[in-house]
Structure formats: structure tokens, C-alpha cells
Structure 1
Amino acid sequence: MTFSETLLEEGEHVWEAQKAHPFVRELAAGTLDEAAFEHWVKQDYRYLLDYARLFAIAGTKARDEETMTHLLGVAHQVLDHEMGLHREFAADYGISRAELESVEKAPTCVAYTNFLLRTAYEGSIAEIAAALYPCMQGYYDVASHMADLADEGHRYTPFIEMYTSEEFREATEWCRAFVDRCGERYPGEHDAMREAFLTSAKLEYRFWEMAYTLEGWGL
């Protein structure tokens, strides 16, 4: 069993909780409240800025040229492509780019991005690999689950298509292989990698909950 498979086995309960979450089930059915999806778009836009930073910092810690090149390339792709798709989603709901950029992070978004950036600055390359993995693998698996649940096309179909695309599948496979390489090269880091992976996975679940409940600061 590869190390990424070991991590996924340990996080299986989190994956199942994500797939069962009402945000996921209702999005798949096309019945999700627009306000919840708008909240997700806004918060995920802010999240992606820091996710891109995570890849960029990881690139500076990579010891081989190929990995460094790929990680920095992913940072650029997130900023150039994925955030562009979020701006398109937002435009469909009348949300401008300026509004996206000025959105205040909800508590869960703060917790998740702060965890990722702390791991990026203070952790090893192996910890970073484990911390970034749940987002990639989680979105691919959850979106694939949504595709299985969806009976027909609806307003949220582009979301499902984005995260089940061949391009995203290939990005997820690279990320999984990156985790496996780190697991092989740094066996002494396994406990730290496991903790980073499970923390990110749990925060992925909380992100769906944040969007569904329109979480804010209440102030």
C-alpha cells in the first residue's frame, strides 16, 4: 500500500462525511440554495489565493528542479485558471471581481488558510505535500460522487465538470505521486504528514459546512 493510500484509508470517515454533506448532495441535485453557492464562491476565492501561496512556498523548498518547476507552475495555474473560473461563477450571480477581492474570510476559511500557511512556512516539504493533498483529492472524489448522483444538467453542472475534468484528474494524480515520493524519502516524517493530512481533510469538511450555513462572524 502506498503512503497516499494509507492516508486516504485513515481519512475515509472524513471523505464519507463530505460526500454525505447536504451542500454536496444538494449541489449534485441542482437544488442547493444560491446563497450557499455564492458564499462558497466568495470564500473559496479567498482560500485559493493562499492555496497558491502554499504551492509557491513548497516550490522554494523542493530539492529537485522538476518538482520545483511543477509546484511553481501549479501556483500560477491556480491564480491564472482556477480563480478565473471562480470569477466566471461569481459573474453569473452578479458578483464583481472587486467584491470577491474585498470579501472578509469566514472563521473556517481563516482557520484553514492559516493552517496551510503555517505549515508552508514552518513545516517540511513532506508536511506541505500532505497538507495540500486533501483539497486536490477531496474535490476530485467529491465531484465524482456528485457526478454519479446528478440525474441531468443544471446550473451547478459547470462546478462538477471543472473538478471531474481530465486536467484536474491529472493534477490530482501528480499530487498523489508527490505525497508518495515524500513518504518514501522521509519515513521519519510519516507522523507529521498524517497529522497535516487529517487536519486539512477535516477543514475541507468544515468548508462545506461553512458555505451551507453561510458562516460569518456574527458581529
Structure 2
Amino acid sequence: MRMSDRLLEAGEPLWNAQQSHPFVTELASGTLEESAFRTWVCQDYRYLLDYARVFAIAGSRVRDEETMTHLLGVAHRILAEEMDLHRSFAADYGISQTELESVEKAPTCVAYTNFLLRTAYEGSVAEIAAAIYPCGQGYLDIAEHMADIATTDHRYTPFIEKYTSDEFAESVEWMREFVDRCGERHPGEREAMKQAFLTSAKLEYRFWEMAYTEEKWEREPAPAVATPRSQ
């Protein structure tokens, strides 16, 4: 069995949970609240900056020229193309580029990007491959699921079209092959790959939940006011 298939089998409950999440089903039907989609746009924009960094770090750590070239190319495409798509989504909903760049990461976004960056710096190349895989394969599978259950075109149709495009499917297939190569070359790291994959998959689910609930940091407590001691 391919390593990518082993990971997807281990993550099947998380995949099913993502596909039935109300953010996903309501986006597919076009009924998702605009504020939830705005939250996703802003948070995913911040996420992608770090996702690009992870590919760049991975590119600097691999040894073969072809893989290095591809990973660094993905980092460039995220910054040059996918973030343009988010800027376009944002403009449609009245979000300026300045607002995108200054928005504070929600707790879930912080947790996910910190995990990916820590894996990129401290994990093996095989672990990095497994950690980045759920984002690519997850969006492809979920967007295809959205396309299957959508009954008409609506304001969120461009989202579905982007992540079901041939270009995106090809990029995911490369990630899948990268995972498979790592699993074949480093059999002793398969369990670590599985754990990295499942952690990212759990955070993918939490990312939909974060956007749907418009997650924010809890209000900071007011500073304590010192009371004078009685004499």
C-alpha cells in the first residue's frame, strides 16, 4: 500500500468530519454566513504565508535538485498566485490588503502554523512531507465533495472551482508522490510521518471550526488596581 494511502486510511474519520462540517456543507450550498467566509479568507491568508515558508525550508533541506526546485517553486506559487486569489476574495468582501496583512492570527491558526514551522525546522524531511499533505489533499477532496453536493452556482462557486481545478489536482498529486517516496526511502520514519499527518489533519478540521465560529482570542483581563494598605 502506498504511504499516502496508509495516511489517508488512518485519517479517514477526520476526513469524514471535515466533509460534514457546517462550514463545508453551507459553503457548498451557498448559505454560509459572509462573516464566516471573511474569517476564513483573512486567517487562511496569514496561514499561507507560513505554509510558503515551510515549503521553502523543506526545499533547503532536501538533497536532490529536482525536489528542491519543485518545493521552492511551490513556495513561490503560493506567494505569487494563491495569495492573489485570497486578495481577490477579500476585495469582493470589502477587505483591503492592509487589513489582510494586519489581521491577528486566531488561536487555531497560531497552533497550526507553529506546528508546521516547528516540523520544518526540527522534523525530518519525511515528517515535513506528511505534515504538509493534509492541507493539499484535504482541500482537493473537500472541494470535490462540495462540487458533488452543490446544486447551483452561487457566490462561493469560485472557491470550489479553484480547489477542483486540474492545476490544483496536479499539485496535490506531486505532494502525494513526495509522501510515497519518503515512506519508501525511510521505513523507520513511517510512524512519525503518521503522527505528523494526523496532527495536521486534526488542525485542518479545527481550521474550518475556527472560521465558522469566527474564533478570536479571549478578551485580555483588565490590569489589577492596587489598593492602598490600611495604616
- Relative to the length of structure 2, the TM-score reads 0.94
1:112 aligns with 2:112: yes
Query: Is residue 62 of structure 2 the alignment partner of residue 78 of structure 1?
Result: no
- Distance (Å, rounded) in 2 between the aligned partners of 1:60 and 1:83: 22
Which is greater in Rg?
Answer: 2
Q: Which residue of 1 aligns with 2:68?
A: 68
Equivalent residue number for residue 35 of structure 1: 35
Match of 2:92 in 1: 92
Q: Which string of whole-angstrom CA distances, capped at 9 and with x for unpartnered residues, describes residues 21-71 of structure 1?
A: 000000000000000000000000000000000000000011100000000
Alpha-carbon deviations, 1:129-164, whole Å to 9, x = none? 000000000000000000001011000000000000
Q: Which runs of 5+ in 2 are unaligned?
A: 220-231
Q: Name the residue aligned to 1:133.
A: 133
Instruction: Classify the secondary structure of the residue corresponding to 2:161.
Output: helix
Cα distance in 2 for residues equivalent to 1:89 and 1:218: 27
Q: How far apart, CA to CA, are the structure 2 residues paired with 1:201 and 1:187? A: 21
Name the counterpart of 1:176: 176
Q: How many residues align?
A: 219
Residues of 1 paired with 2:218 and 2:142: CA distance? Answer: 29
The aligned amino acid for 2:210 is: M
Unaligned runs of 5+ in 1: none
- Larger proportion of helix: 1
Paired with 1:167 and 1:52, the residues of 2 have a C-alpha distance of 17
3-state DSSP class of the match of 1:121? helix
Deviation at 1:218? Answer: 2.3
C-alpha distance in structure 2 between counterparts of 1:137 and 1:191, whole Å: 19
Alignment of 1:1-219 (within 5 A): 1-219=1-219
- Looking at structure 1, the residues matched to 29 and 75 of structure 2 have their Cα atoms a distance apart, in angstroms, of 32
Cα distance in 2, alignment partners of residues 20 and 122 from structure 1: 34
1:107 is matched by which residue type in structure 2? P
Q: Classify the secondary structure of the residue corresponding to 2:94.
A: coil
Give me the whole-angstrom Cα distance separating, in 2, the residues matched to 1:123 and 1:218. 31
Distance 2:200 2:147 in 1: 24
**DSSP 3-state at the match of 1:94:** coil
CA distance in 2, matches of 1:209, 1:188: 34
CA distances 1:72-113 after superposition (whole Å, capped 9, x unpaired): 000000000000000000000110111000000000000000
1:190 deviates by 0.6
SS in 2 for 1:188: helix
Distance in structure 1 (CA, Å) of the matches to 2:21 and 2:206: 10
Any idea what SS the aligned residue of 1:215 has? coil
Q: What TM-score, normalized to structure 1?
A: 1.00
Per-residue Cα deviation, 1:141-197 (whole angstroms, up to 9, x for no partner): 000000001011000000000000000000000000000000000111111100000
